[in-house]
Structure 1
Amino acid sequence: MPPGPPGWRPPGPQPPNTNPAVVIIALLGALVLLIGAGAVVRWWFVAHKSSKQASVTPTIPDLPPPPTYSPPTFNPPTFNPRSFSPPTVPSIPVPTYSPPPMNYGAIAVAPNGAVGRAWDYKSAAAARQRALKACPASGCKVLTTFVNGCGAVAYNPKTNRYWGGSGATRAAAQKDAISNAGGGRTITWVCTTRYSR
């Protein structure tokens, strides 16, 4: 078919207009329509949701007021010093100490070997006096004094002398007297009653 004048189109279906400016404008218009429709839909949902929430909110019934608390009153006991009596403490018996009896003894000897003995006296002086009084010869002399124990006198023939000794037992007193005499033998001994062996 020969071409026609400018601006003329042949009859029948026409090819689509592919002008880019027209396509852009159409797309922008569609976008504006979509944005507007989305805003309307969003507003409708928000309004509808808020109205539902407002209608569903439960009402809280009026509660009774909380009970009032008043602390208990405390009245401390009154103290009257005049009517106060301290508690009685039971008396504890205190054991009494009694020292052991002091029994004294003594032995006196004369130059000829006569002896005088004393025991169970309350003082050393009384025991010595009794020993001198019990000695039958003249020139008697007290050679040993002891307390709560025993006394003895030993004779050493080498020196011809008498020596006294004392101890807790008879054997201890005899050993002490012989040691003091430098040897020899025991001629007499005596113990207080409490320590008699």
Structure 2
Amino acid sequence: MAAAAANALKDAWPVVLALALLAAAIAAWRTAQAAGGRRRDAERLAVLRITLAEFDGMDDRQFEYALRDLLVRDGWPARRVGGGGDQVADVIGDHPQRGRIVVQAKHTRVGGKVGSSVMYAVKGTAGPAHGANHAVVITNGTITRDAMAWGDRHGVHWVDREKLRRWAEGGTALHELLGLSGRSGGRGLFKRAA
């Protein structure tokens, strides 16, 4: 039996060698692709860093576009929708695994505060009007304690000045910063009205 196996291997060695070379080429290609993807991600992150001073110098519209660009950097295909009749959504992003995110941008003067009324409005429209899985209020200012507590209780995430710095300057992805998981139940925390 051993002799028969040796004879079969002797006759099949070109096929075995070709399969081994093919497997090695595929492994090398996958390694190169992964390294290239990591390099591209690092280059993209290195290019898109926005400082708090730059945010402070923006107008409302520029702030919304900057937030959109940061979402895109983090893998959320996003678009700016802010303006008249936006139903409390300035940026909307759709992620294949994490679902839809609706962002309400609040650009303030340095030292400006965002209160609870913004959280109420976002909670009321994120799902019914936009089908959101995640709703976020983002400001270059601060958020009142009451607004933070209300948002935490009712599933409205918030990004204040310090979190904005970690996201925009530090390169931490928004979904990591806020602990956003995948879609839950298909539509997440917010339900679209029928």
The interval holding the TM-score normalised by the smaller chain is under 0.3
TM-score calculated relative to the size of structure 1: 0.24
TM-score calculated relative to the size of structure 2: 0.24
- Higher RCO (C-alpha 8 Å, min separation 6): 2
Q: Which has the higher strand share?
A: 1
- Which protein has the larger Cα radius of gyration, Structure 1 or Structure 2? 1
